[in-house]
Each structure stands twice: as C-alpha cells, then as structure tokens.
C-alpha cells in the first residue's frame, strides 16, 4: 500500500504539498515549488551522467590505492582539487598531518601440523593490519591458539597463551549480510580486528591474527585499522583469509599448529596532507553550509574504488550536476574529499578544530562511505522530526527506488562524526549492503566492482539530498 | 514429459526391464535383477557416507597442495596407498618420473602509466604459469602490448611486439559459464594460457601474460600449464587477475604502460613418483578391469580440493561402499589415484605403456576430474550405443537428479585419455559447471568449496556407474 501511495504521489507536481498532507499537523512549506522542480531535474540529469563513473575510474586506475601518506594520496589531493576548480568551486586545501604506515612483506606459512609431510609448503594468505608493528625480519614461529571470543581468550589465561599466536576465529555472519545487514555483520567481526592484538598481548601472546572481518570466500585477506593500548606490549596484527582460518581451526582441533609469520611494515614520520574542500556558494545564505563528502584515502591492497573513490566522485558529481544545470543552491554546498578516514581520522579532526566556532553555520552534513551499490534511500542522525523533511526528497527519488529513510543513532559517517556529535544533522545514502563486505578492504576493491547504473543512482540520491537541504525553507530541527 | 516418464520408471522394481523397453529392438538383459538391487543399495549408502568428504578434507588440509615432485605429492601417495590397503584393496605403486617445477617469488608492479604519480606503488596480482622459465632475479621492465587474440598479435607484428610484454586479454565468458557451459568457456580462454608465450616469443616479446582463464572476479590469478616450442625462445609466462587485466587494458588505451615483472620459478630434475592403484578383484571376470579414478597431484596455489582431491576421494569411496556393503563386483574395479595430471601426464603415460598389451581387458574407464558440484549425470566417449547401457544406471540415480547422459567426442578425462583413444569406453560424472572455474587453479580451490551433500551425490554417481559397468551382463560396444 505504501508503495502504491508513493507511486501515485510522484505524479503530483508539488511534492511539498504531499509532505504537508502526510504530516499530522500542518507545517510551513519545506521546499519551494521551484526547488522541487529543480530536484526532479537534478535526479533526471544524474541518471544519465557519466561524471562520477569517470572520476571513480581515474582515482582507481590512474591514481590507484591511496593510503594516507603515500605519493598516490598526495597525487589524489592535487587531482581532485584541480577537478573541483574546473567545476568552478572555491577550492582550498585544509592541512592535516597523517600517519605514514607502509606495508612491507607479509608471509605466513604453517610449519607444523598433524600429518604434515617433511618439506611441506603450506602458505597462509594473510595481510598486516594497518598500524601493525613488524615481526623481526626473519619472522617469528609460534603455536597458534584458536579462540572465538575475548571470553574464550580470558578463559585460557596467560598460561595457555603466553608465547603463542592467537587466532580470533570469529565468523563474519554472511547470512546477516545476505539479508541486507552487512554493516551489522561487520560491526560484530571488526572488534577482533581492532582489539585482537591488545587483548592477546595482555596474556603474553607474540602476535594476533583475526579471521577476515568480511564476507569474502575467495582467499582474500581483509585489512583495516587496529589498535594498541598504553602499557600493553605492541604485538603484530594480521588478518587471515576465511579459508586459512578454516584450515588452521580444523588442524588445531587435532593437534599443534605452528605458524612462521613475517610482517615487515614500517611506521614512518607523519606526513603533511590535506582535505580537499570546494565550495559552491549559496545565493541566499552563503554562510550556511551543507557538506557533501567522501574520503579520498583508501587502503592499499585494492584500488579503493568502492571505499571510497565512489563517495568522493559522487560528491563532486553534485557540483557537476548543479553547474551544468545552472542551478544555484540557496545555502553553500561544500564538497569535501576527506583525508585519512581509514587510519587516523586526522582530516576530520582538522576540520573539526578549524570550524569549532562555526558549527552552528553547518546546516547539514552528508557522507557517502557505505558502498556504491543500489541506494535504498537515506540514513540520518539527528532529531526524529527530520524524517518528515526527507519525504519530499525521497518522493523525487522514487523512480530509482531510493525511498526509505531511517534514523540511525550514533552517526552515519566517520568523517562527519565530529559534526554529528556537535549536533549537525547528518545524512548518508543508505545502501543495499548484501555484498559490500565481500570486497571492502581487500585486494578486490577495484574499479570493476562499480556498477555504472547504480553509481548514477547514488549520484541522484546525493545530489537531490544535498541540493534539497541547501534549499530548505525552514531550519532543520537540531 | 521425459522427466515424468523417468520419475515413474523409478518406482518399477527392475530397471533392466525399462532399458529393454526403451530400446527400439529387444536387447539381452544388461544388468541382472540382483545387480540393480545392489546399485540401489549403493546409491542409498552413498547418500549418507562421509568417507569421501573426510578423505577430501585430509588431502586438502593435512596434506595440502600436491604439485608433482613436491614432498606433499609424495606424502599423498603414501597416504592414499595406505588408505586403500585399509579398504582391503590389492595396492601397487606404479612408477613414473614427474617434472619438478617450483614456484618462486612472483611480483608485478606497474612502473609507468598515464597520470602516474612519482613514487606510485601499483601492484599487479599475477602468478607464474606452470613450467614457466624465470625472469632474471632483479626482474624485467617492459611496455605491455595488449591483444585480444593471436590474430591481433600477428597483425601488430615484430615491429610493435619486440622487446615488450604481451598481455593476451581474452575474456573468460562468464555468461557461458553461468548458463552451465563452464568447460566450453575454459576451452576458449585456456589457449592463450597454454600458447601465449610461444606465440608472443615468435614476435620477439620478452614475456607473456594472459588474463586469467577462469571466472573469478576476486583478484585471483589462475595458474595452469603452459607450453614451449622447439626453436622458439622460452619467455616467462604468467596469468594476471581479471581486475589487473581490466586495469592494464584501460591504462593502455590512453598511453604507455610499463610493468616490472619478477618471476623466479625453478625447474629441478625430474622426481620419481607414482600412480596409486588399488584393485577390488572381480568374482567372475577378475581379469577384466573397470577403472575409477581421479588425480592426486594438484596445482600449488590452493589446496587442490575440487581439483582433484574430491575425484580421488570419490574413487576410493567406490571401494569403501562396496566393501562396507559386502558387494563384490563381477569384474575387477580398479581405483587409481593418478599422478601428474596437471603438468605432464606422466602417470597416465606410464600406465598406458605398462598396460599396452592389455587394453582389451580394460572394460571401461571412469575419471572424476570436472568438479565436485551437483552431478547432472554421466558423460561418455565411445560408441553412441553405449547410451542405452547407461539408462538403467541413471534410473538408479534418479532420486538425486543425475539422469542425463551425453556422448562427448574427444574424451572425458585427461588421465584416461590414452585408454579412450585406444577404444576403451570412457565415462565421467557430468557436473553443473556454473561456478567451477571461479576457483579452479586458483588459491581459492580449498576444502571449504566442497559441499558435503553434493560430494555424496558424486560418490553415488561414481559408485553406481563403476559397479554397474563391472557387473554388466554384456560387453560394451567398442
């Protein structure tokens, strides 16, 4: 029934009227008729634009992986700034100092297990976690202790863990992902990636492994950030592929399993880097800002295509569409390509610091960092009343099926997190997350994973949302 | 209609009767009523046996990859011979000398392309092809020339190829695979893996790459054998992943792309190895032999689970089921775990040589080396009349859906190929091949890819087929 109503509503000229009808008590008009017409025009233009796809391709193929501190991240800053200038934006680079962690060699090999033939070569596919310390250059050899939770680790205690390598074998819930809750599945698994080395080191382990915090069953290891705690020894951390976790867990059930592990990452001095910020000035309230953003840095294993070249590209797409259509927003739309989302959040912190006195002028913030597949609608963090303000926007997005809106407590994007916490209404495209974590943070996050039509849909969502917010006739509840 | 008839037929006690009715002219009874009852009992027992699954797991996890000449291949020979003895088979090891090719380091890195930032690290995921010569230890650096066919290569000629690396970018047809013709898709693509280096070297190339001859889109490179020709320089050969082929092809459209390629494989002296042969002696015609087989060696990137631990395991399963059920075949069932299918066929050649005078006593040969997914029925090579002999067998297999039979010209298995060519009726389980080539010859050919239920189905097909043939009351047309 609801679908039918929405479908019908799409053919009524002023969506603004519908929003008022849908709301129990009469509200002032949220969007002018002209704004609604413009939103429709933007949505249609997005459906045939190749701009975001081309930008995602350039970032993925011609620049490549963009880990903070790398020359490719620096090149990406130059490139995106240049492209934003070509769009006529007022561009500035916002300085931040980012970690410079460099992946070295990474090798794992089982050197003892039940039934092993002398001379056996049994490789383990693994990858160092971002920020990990190195093993000695010749590697370490130790028995693997397999646990499924922090509680199991604690139950084993120092006696059974000291001097060993702990494998956190918590299984990424692929069924949960298949049913559309990939983010929730990730949330469960990622705690062992982030906290595994800290927990294992407290019991004297010499290294920590985690079963990859993703859905891949294609021998791919899933990297990502890990943490260290003050006063706890820093031990190397790595993720093993799904298959290798299964192998090790099976072998460990019937006897001792020993691993020779070599990781040679280096943490070099911090590097000066930048958020790229491009303003499309508002015509009526230029001092009020709607941010639309993605992050420019990426992990180094793949090309950072879905995480998050696509997010940067669709944010740039907003400005491209508006300037091509000669539509000027009433408030300023600020396109941001954030630096260092993945392993430090230094770009986000720099923005927060610089804009601390200016939070009230941040009308809204949008971040696209949850995938590049078919968008289902819009997630938001803020007052529940905001939902009504989104109705006219999702009515414009009805033809592409992006009609759902949902309040998500706790934020919708890492880079806009400080703004969210300061009370700025925050938004993100809501994706079908049935496959995102099969590629996320792996070597397979490559340009081919971008579906051009779905990326155009994403451009539609982000552009209509950002423009609509920038033209809102009322303040957003906050 | 056909399905209905088959379904109905399954409830008639003697399948032998049906076969005679189905045949246009009356034929003598093919299978005794007792044989048909036994076949049904075997099919039911297979449906609940865990033997093949356990054997596949041991070969995959506790032994691991079993490339010819490796210590793991040697261990697999010992292990399987021992397991066959435990089943009460008459076991012998048949000597052969196998190539001993050892994969070394393999690294690819793009060092020049349009837009490349100085200092860029853009890795290429690739793997040396089996038998490839090495690059110098420091690697080679050369421009990549992308072609989609041998004809395109020839059209470029020596002038544009000399000193360069050729990438054969022929696309594995994933749609063809999805529609069930994975083998045909593989057949198209594999010619560039096998023949790429020979073709490229004729025009003066310094190395040859091929786009992986498989369906993976998960950054996996697909290894396999390659050829060299007398009188043509031997140049290194490697496969790049789907994603890297896409990346290189895109970059090459807008300018020069240079690769730094390092491959350090070694070809060591041939190693003595063995086919493992276990006979379950026939009660009435023990000198007549029905072979049931898989190959024990595998590529080294994964665990050789679907290629072909599963084939060996289900062949052993035939003997396990018959001895557990105390059913003795009339002819001898010979279980063979072939050595060196992947890169030489030396085991197969040794058998052919040793049994040359004895071909007429080989009643039939079965090989299971086309996957481990749901079996659709039986493929065969031989006289078309053989199809009628399979009807009672597939009627027994009806409850598990393995009812289709098809004549396949040119053979159904590499190891039994010499026997096939000598006129021995040859058989193979016919698989659903909609995903096999997503894992085949890659690091993801691991035990978890085995579906236990489907493997039990495979055991049913191979056991009923082998036993039925061994009990046939008539000679097979040949």
* pLDDT digits 0-9 by tens, A310-341: 999 999 999 999 999 999 999 999 999 999 99
The residue that leads in pLDDT, B27 or B65, is: B65
Which fold would CATH assign to domain A104-264? Glucose Oxidase; domain 1 (3.50.30)
The closest of A384, A378, A385 to A465, measured between CA atoms, is A378
Chain A residues lying within 8 Å of B117, measured CB to CB: 63, 71-72, 74-75
pLDDT number for residue B328: 98
Please enumerate in sequence order all residues whose Cβ is within 8 A of that of B106, keeping only pairs 6 or more positions apart, or say none: B126, B127, B128, B238, B262, B263, B264, B265
Fold of A2-101+270-471: Aminopeptidase (3.40.630)
Mutation site for B-interface testing, chosen from A66, A82, A115, A219 by largest number of B Cβ within 10 Å: A219
Beta-carbon count within 10 A of A141 CB = 16
A-chain CB neighbours of B444 within 8 Å are 217-219, 243
Question: Chain B: residue nearest A245 by CA?
Answer: B448
Active-site residues of B, by number, are: 341
* 3-class SS shares of chain B: helix, strand, coil, % to 5: 40, 25, 35
Please list the alpha-helical segments (H only) found in A203-309: 242-253
Contacts across the A-B interface (CB distance below 8 Å): 124
Which segments of A85-164 are extended strands (E)? 90-102, 106-112, 122-124, 126-128, 140-147
- The verdict on a CB contact (< 8 Å) between B122 and A74 is no
pLDDT of residue B4: 30
User: Cβ B219–A217 below 8 Å, yes or no?
Assistant: no
Preferred mutation among A218, A297, A440 to probe B, highest tally of B CBs within 10 A = A218
Q: Check if the beta carbon of residue A53 is closer than 8 Å to that of residue A456.
A: yes
Nearest by CB to A448, which of B71, B121, B246? B246
The pLDDT value recorded for residue A2 is 32
Contacts for B406 with CB less than 8 Å, ≥ 6 apart: B377, B378, B379, B380, B430
Q: Does residue B14 have a pLDDT over 60?
A: no
Residues of B in contact with A116 (CB under 8 A): 62
Best of B57, B219, B444, B450 to disrupt the A interface by mutation (most A CBs within 10 Å)? B219
Q: Residues with Cβ < 8 Å from B398, sequence gap 6 or more?
A: B6, B7, B9, B10
Smallest CA-to-CA distance from A408 within A432, A375, A443, A384 is with A384
Q: What residue ranges of chain A are covered by domains with CATH 3.50.30.30?
A: 104-264
Q: Which residue of A has its CA nearest to B439?
A: A218
* Residues from chain B contacting residue A219 (CB–CB below 8 Å): 218, 220, 302, 442-444, 446
- Calculate mean pLDDT across residues B283-311: 98
Q: Which fold has domain B2-99+270-471?
A: Aminopeptidase (3.40.630)
Tell whether omega for the bond before B177 is within 30 degrees of 0, i.e. cis: no
CB atoms B443 and A62 under 8 Å: no
**Predicted pLDDT of residue B119:** 87
Contact between A395 and A15 under an 8 Å Cβ cutoff? The reply is: yes
pLDDT of residue B160: 98
Q: Tell me how far the alpha carbon of residue A186 is from its chain's centroid.
A: 12
Confidence band, pLDDT 50/70/90 cuts, at residue B27: low
Alpha-carbon gap: A105 to the closest alpha carbon of chain B (Å): 12
Three-class secondary structure of residue A166 per DSSP: strand
Tens of pLDDT, residue by residue over B74-122, are 999 999 999 999 999 999 999 999 999 999 999 999 999 999 988 888 8
Chain A residues touching B255 at Cβ < 8 A: none
Sheet holding A426-431, edge to edge: A90-102, A266-280, A331-338, A285-295, A362-367, A426-431, A375-381, A404-407
Which of A57, A218, A303 faces B218 most closely, judged by CB atoms?
A: A218
Domain with CATH 3.40.630.10 in chain B: 2-99+270-471
Q: pLDDT per residue over B169-218, tens digit each?
A: 999 999 999 999 999 999 999 999 999 999 999 999 999 999 999 999 99
Contact across the interface for A442 and B120, Cβ inside 8 Å: no
CB contact under 8 A, A115 and B62: yes
Q: How far is A118 from chain B, CA to nearest CA, in Å?
A: 7
pLDDT at position B260: 98
Partner-chain residue, chosen from A120, A219, A251, that has the shortest CB–CB distance to B446: A219
Confidence of residue B18 (pLDDT cuts 50, 70, 90): very low
Q: Are strands B258-263 and B237-240 parallel, antiparallel or unpaired?
A: unpaired
Nearest to A469 by CA among A417, A420, A424, A411: A424
**Residue B219: HSE in the Cβ half-sphere, 13 Å Cα cutoff:** 25
Residues of A in contact with B251 (CB under 8 A): 61-62
Mean pLDDT of B11-23: 42
In 3D space, the residue among A404, A366, A394, A388 whose CA is nearest the CA of residue A477 turns out to be A388
- pLDDT tens by residue, B316-363: 999 999 999 999 999 999 999 999 999 999 999 999 999 999 999 999
Cα dihedral A203, A208, A209, A213 sign = positive
- Cβ neighbours of B150 (radius 10 Å): 17
Q: Of A106, A341, A342, A457, which one is the catalytic site residue?
A: A341
Residues of chain A with pLDDT under 50: 1-21, 24, 26
Q: B220-238 pLDDT, tens per residue?
A: 999 999 999 999 999 999 9
Q: At what angle do helices B15-22 and B33-46 cross, to 10 degrees?
A: 110
């Amino acid at each position: 029934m609801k679908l039918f109503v929405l479908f019908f509503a799409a053919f009524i000229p002023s969506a603004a009227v519908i929003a008022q009808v849908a709301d129990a008590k009469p509200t002032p008009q949220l969007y002018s008729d002209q704004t609604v017409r413009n939103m429709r025009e933007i949505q249609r233009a997005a459906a045939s634009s190749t701009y975001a796809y081309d930008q995602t391709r350039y970032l993925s193929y011609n620049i490549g992986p963009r880990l903070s501190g790398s020359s490719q991240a620096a090149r990406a800053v130059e490139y995106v700034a240049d492209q934003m200038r070509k769009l006529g934006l007022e561009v500035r680079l916002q300085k931040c100092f980012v970690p410079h962690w460099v992946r070295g060699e990474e090798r794992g090999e089982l050197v003892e297990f039940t039934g092993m033939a002398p001379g056996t070569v049994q490789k383990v596919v693994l990858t160092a976690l971002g920020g990990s310390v190195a093993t000695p250059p010749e590697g370490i050899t130790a028995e693997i202790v397999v646990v499924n939770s922090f509680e199991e680790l604690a139950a084993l205690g120092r006696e059974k863990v000291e001097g060993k390598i702990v494998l956190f074998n918590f299984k990424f819930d692929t069924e949960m992902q298949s049913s559309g809750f990939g983010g929730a599945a990730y949330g469960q698994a990622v705690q062992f990636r982030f906290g595994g080395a800290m927990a294992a080191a407290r019991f004297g382990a010499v290294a920590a492994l985690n079963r990859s915090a993703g859905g891949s069953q294609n021998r791919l290891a899933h990297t990502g950030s890990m943490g260290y705690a003050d006063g706890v020894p820093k031990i190397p951390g790595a993720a093993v592929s799904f298959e290798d976790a299964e192998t090790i867990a099976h072998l460990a059930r019937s006897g001792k399993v020993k691993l020779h592990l070599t990781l040679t990452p280096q943490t070099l001095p911090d590097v000066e880097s930048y958020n790229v910020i491009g303003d499309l000035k508002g015509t009526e309230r230029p001092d009020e800002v709607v941010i639309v953003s993605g992050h420019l840095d990426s992990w180094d294993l793949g090309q950072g295509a879905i995480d998050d070249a696509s997010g940067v590209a669709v944010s740039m797409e907003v400005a491209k569409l508006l300037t091509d259509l000669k539509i000027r927003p009433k408030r300023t739309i600020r396109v941001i390509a954030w630096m260092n989302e993945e392993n430090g959040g230094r770009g986000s912190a720099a923005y927060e610091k610089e804009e601390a006195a200016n939070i009230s002028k941040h009308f809204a913030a949008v971040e696209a960092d949850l995938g590049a597949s078919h968008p289902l609608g819009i997630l938001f963090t803020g007052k529940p009343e905001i939902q009504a303000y989104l109705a006219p926007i999702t009515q414009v997005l009805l033809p592409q099926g992006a009609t759902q809106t949902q309040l998500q407590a706790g934020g919708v994007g890492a880079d806009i997190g400080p703004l969210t916490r300061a009370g700025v209404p925050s938004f993100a495209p809501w994706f079908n997350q049935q496959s995102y974590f099969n590629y996320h943070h792996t070597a397979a996050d490559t340009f081919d994973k971008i579906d051009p039509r779905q990326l155009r849909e994403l451009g539609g969502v982000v552009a209509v949302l950002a423009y609509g917010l920038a033209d809102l006739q009322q303040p957003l509840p906050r």
